[in-house]
Amino acid sequence: MSNSFHNDFMALALDRASLMLENKALDIPVCAVIVKDNKIISIKTNEKEKTNCTMAHAEMLALIEANKKLNSWRLEGCDMYVTLEPCAMCATAIMNARISNLYFSSYDIQYGAFSTSLNLKKFLNSKINVFSGIMVDRGDEILKKYFEKLRK
């Protein structure tokens, strides 16, 4: 897949995260997009605050929707694009789902589980390919705006 596809899918995820800011959503603006054969099969944003559900992270919701659409828990051949480095819960679910490639924008210094805080890929012996820092300036700006609004 060419870089333009990766940028298009990440741009879409960042657009959805940015839209959360515009709509004054309480949730941290994170979006996850799952793609198979260059087609989007799932796109979800964080809903933890909205639903009062601990596990309603964008990645988890996107995985659930993709599982239903493909009628399988195995998501081999799928790529995931996320605006923020997944936490340990999401990272484990992503690897268990057998996502082939993960692309994320911003690094999560506190909870990131693929490179920043820890790297679960090493512990779980996963074959997932991880690509980080995709359109990171835009991802960081969205998060910065969210936390500035939260502090006001």
Catalytic (active site) residue 65: no
Parallel, antiparallel or unpaired: strands 31-36 and 78-84: antiparallel
Out of 59, 65, 76, 141, the active site residue is 59
User: Which stretches within 23-135 are classed as H helix?
Assistant: 48-51, 58-70, 88-96, 120-124
For residue 2, pLDDT beyond 60: no
Question: Residue 22 burial (CB < 10 Å; 0-12/13-18/19+)?
Answer: exposed
State pTM to two decimals: 0.94
- Amino acid 53: pLDDT: 96
- Amino acid 152: pLDDT: 76
Rounded distance, CA 134 to CA 85, Å? Answer: 11
